[in-house]
Homo-oligomer: A and B are copies of this chain.
Amino acid sequence: MLIRRPEDVPPITYKNGVQKRVVLGPQQGAPTFVLRTIDVPPGEASPWHKHDWEHEMFVLAGEGMAITEDGERPTKCGDAVLVPPNEMHSFKNTGTDTFRFICLVPTRGEDNP
């Protein structure tokens, strides 16, 4: 068994300040899917994109907007969110604090599993 605090995992930081931490995945002994945390700074967003695998997410802190081709929906701490395969999506921080969520993907969906 492995117990990790996300804050102890070195982040991958993107140009807009979004940070990803790959917390649990194949490198830790998990064969099927990968648990990452994503931190979105106020005013910033994750990329507008799609892929043929799902996201299963859980919002840990802050508030934001879940954006799809069907429109925008507010999401906040305590929400579970499913992005099904092949759906365009982006998550924007609309609050004043960090918008942090867990985001899981199948192993093939993570560049740094």
Contact = CB atoms under 8 A, between A and B. Distances in A.
Interface in A63-113: 66, 68, 70, 73, 75, 78-85, 87, 89, 102, 104, 106
A28 to B, nearest CB: 5
Interface residues of A, number: 37
A106 B54 CA distance: 13
Interface string A1-37: 1111110000000000000000110001111110100
A32 B33 contact: yes
Most buried by B among A56, A78, A80: A80
A48 interface: no
A30 to B, nearest CB: 5
A80 B84 CA distance: 24
Contacts of A75: 3
Given A56-B24, A58-B102, A84 B29 contact: yes
